[in-house]
Amino acid sequence: MKAMGRSNKITKLFIFIQIILYLAFLYFDIIGGYSMISSYIKYFFIILCLLYALINYDVTNKHRSRCLILGLGFTLVADYYLLLLGYHFEYGIIAFIIVQQIYGIMLDRNWRLVTNIFLKRFFIQLLITFFIVFLLNYLDLDIELTVILAIFYFINILTNTFRAIKVSMASKEDRSSALFALGMILFVLCDINVGLFNLSTYLDLSVTVAIPIIRITSLLMWLFYAPSQILIGLSIRNI
């Protein structure tokens, strides 16, 4: 009981600190002019999600705990390239692909068969990616490596989100599954805004259209992304 009480206190403290950080970087993003301060707050926010998962490692469900911790660890790597470094975006996307592959393995409940399931899923995701890239090439659109990686990543996250929702609906008493599923939904909403944010790079949009899209989506992506990582972190416990 003491351990449970301690874990609950840590959870409340974690949520409280994250809310403060969330409001802080949203404030800086809204008023503008403090992009570096906002970026460091955001990165610290993600670090705390990983630390929370490490503190609440569940020895009774090692498969899930290890996958969540590994996933949040690679999320830190991805955000380092995409948020702090500002270049080599392809490395950040690759790190996020690894995150989604790890979460896919976590959702494979019969982990003894995980290799066969993983390889089949990975192959299907690759086929869908190649098909989409073929269609885009057929339409004479300029396809860079980052775009191909982003397409593959988005197929990954959509697959995992659909599967996470199915798992949470199948085991309604398992709140951790519901938290993870909700986190993945918010994750997808974030990525949709990331895609819209980069739309002007690949489409010939007028300034009057591009600027509002960039301003709104740059705010919305972290409005969704930060809560998604909190929920994914919290899903390590059946709180």
Mean pLDDT comparison of 83-92, 110-119, 178-187, highest-scoring range: 178-187
Closest CA to 176 of 68, 49, 59: 68
What global pTM score does this model have? 0.92
Q: Dump pLDDT digits (tens) for 141-183.
A: 778 899 999 999 999 999 999 999 999 998 877 899 999 999 9
Who wins on pLDDT, 198 or 41? 41
Q: Distance from first CA to last CA of the chain, Å, rounded?
A: 14
Q: How many helices (H) and strands (E) does the chain have?
A: 9, 0
